[in-house]
Amino acid sequence: MNVCEMRQRLEELDSKATALRQKLRFSPPNRLLYRARPSMAVGWVTVVEADGIGGAWTSIVEGNFPLDYLVLFERHFSREAEATRVAGDIVQLRADPDRKSVV
């Protein structure tokens, strides 16, 4: 298989994956699902990014997200809704992301 054929095969697989994601109602990889800062006095932001297979990463970052930032906390969840709920709890309730009661 030459490079041109591999590229064509990759495009086919990508379109099939996109169609399957739409059918399953999963967000595409790296889609920003949630972004919030508890207050302007706080230097960190909570973000949720989809992994493309139904899960998501919840992160607490400091800096200029998504260009130049430092990850203070990161956790993967198997469902996008769960990751977004936890991120909301972190921002609105000031919940500790490491505690089991958050999840």
Find the DSSP H helices in the chain.
3-24, 80-92
Q: Token match 């970052």: residue? A: 61
Work out whether the CA dihedral 75, 78, 15, 22 comes out positive or negative: negative
pLDDT tens string 17-35? 999 999 999 999 999 999 9
pLDDT in tens, 44-72: 999 999 999 999 999 999 998 889 999 99
Which DSSP helix (H) or strand (E) runs through 48?
A: strand 44-50
